[in-house]
Amino acid sequence: LATHSKPWRLPGTDQTDFFNYGFDEYTWTQYCMRQQDMTGQVSQMKDQ
Amino acid sequence: ECAYVHIGPNSPLRRKACEHYARGFCPLGPWCKARHVKHKVPCPFYLAGFCPNGRAHPPGPDRIVSCEFGAHARWIRDED
């Protein structure tokens, strides 16, 4: 996969071809981190 | 005139929806063979954890439900 060449950074590319829901590169990574935090917290709460 | 919708055999509407794009991001972008079903905004309630409109509307071709507040972006545990 072309994750390391980051083709969505090229000028003239439509960000929405790569990112859905109005995400961009930065908000998408933030979202991923938050989802991982959430699943961690939820599993902790289930253990209690 | 036929009352049904006619979709040609090579129409992009016949391609199946990209599951990576439905998750939020597809690294193939415009070169992806699957169809990228675009949603404008994620539903803030679903994003926070719960939206009561989950079953109020039928899901789209990418199996993502969209309520009046936005799309219910389903999170699938990382495969990347």
Name the residue among B24, B36, B80 with its Cβ closest to that of A23.
B24
Instruction: Give residue B14's pLDDT.
Output: 74
Instruction: Give residue A3's pLDDT.
Output: 53
Distance CA B25, CA B7 (A): 27
User: Is B28 in the A-facing interface, judged by CB distances under 8 Å?
Assistant: yes
Model pLDDT for residues B44-63, shown as the tens digit of each residue = 999 988 999 888 888 888 88
Amino acid at B78: D
User: Is B79 in the A-facing interface, judged by CB distances under 8 Å?
Assistant: no
Cβ contacts below 8 Å, chain A against chain B, sum to 56
Distance CA A27, CA B80 (A): 17
For tokens 């938050």, name the residue. A34
pTM: 0.78
Q: What average pLDDT score do residues A24-46 get?
A: 90
Q: Which two tokens stand for residue B80?
A: 């990347």
